[in-house]
């Protein structure tokens, strides 16, 4: 039987929400093993000089505990 744990992380990117999500998974995988899934819970963006400056995601990462 597998035991799964869920953590919540925040990430940002100046390119896109997709890039912010990918960055979060890459960074989390440095310290977590067996990542099973990611759930994007929330998306937002900051605006500077009337343009989107930064894309932000709040996500939940599910991984298996060994």
CATH class of 3-65: alpha beta
Express as a percent the part of the chain with pLDDT over 70.
Answer: 100
Check: CB of residue 5 under 8 Å from CB of residue 65: yes
pTM across the whole model = 0.88
- Domain range summary for the chain, segments of one domain joined by +: 3-65
Give bridge partners of residue 3 from the DSSP assignment. 65
Token pair for 57: 């995601």
pLDDT at res. 66 = 85
| 42: confidence class by pLDDT, cuts 50, 70, 90 | very high
Check: CB of residue 38 under 8 Å from CB of residue 62: yes
1 pLDDT exceeds 90?
Answer: no
């Amino acid at each position: 039987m597998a035991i799964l744990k869920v953590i919540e992380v925040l990430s940002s990117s100046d390119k896109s929400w997709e890039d912010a999500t990918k960055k979060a998974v890459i960074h989390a995988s440095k310290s977590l093993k067996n990542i099973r899934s990611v759930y994007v819970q929330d998306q937002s963006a900051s605006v500077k000089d009337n343009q989107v400056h930064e894309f932000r995601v709040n996500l939940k990462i599910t991984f298996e505990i060994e």
